[in-house]
Amino acid sequence: MKIINTTTHKTQHARDHLRVAMAQIAPVWLDRTATLQKIMESVSLAADHGADLVTFGEALLPGYPFWVERTGGAKFDDARQKAFYALYLDQGVVIERGDLEPLCQLAKERRIAIYLGIMERAPDRGGHTLYASIVYIDRDGRIGSVHRKLQPTYDERLVWGPGDGHGLRVHPLDGFTVGGLNCWENWLPLARAALYGQGEDLHVSIWPGGLHNTQDLPLFVAREARSYVVAVSGLMRKTDIPADFPHAEEIASNSGDFLANGASCLAAPDGSWVIEPVIGEEALLMADIDHALVRQERQNLDVVGHYSRPDVTRLTVNRARQSTVRFEDQD
Residue positions annotated with a catalytic role: 58, 149, 183
Q: In angstroms, rounded to a whole number, what is the distance separating the alpha carbons of residues 23 and 266?
A: 12
CA angle 19, 25, 30 (to 5 degrees): 135
- Give yes or no for a cis peptide into 310 (omega within 30° of 0): no
Give backbone dihedrals phi and psi of 83, rounded to 5 degrees, phi first.
-65, -45
As a residue count, the chain comes to 331
Q: Which of 104, 158, 154, 162 is nearest to 132 (CA)?
A: 162
Q: Under 8 Å CB-to-CB from 27, ≥6 apart: which residues?
A: 35, 38, 60, 61, 62, 63, 64, 234, 236, 240
Q: In angstroms, rounded to a whole number, what is the distance separating the alpha carbons of residues 50 and 59?
A: 26
**Beta bridge partner(s), residue 275:** 266
Q: Which of 155, 88, 86, 87 is nearest to 119 (CA)?
A: 88
Rg of the chain in Å (alpha carbons): 20
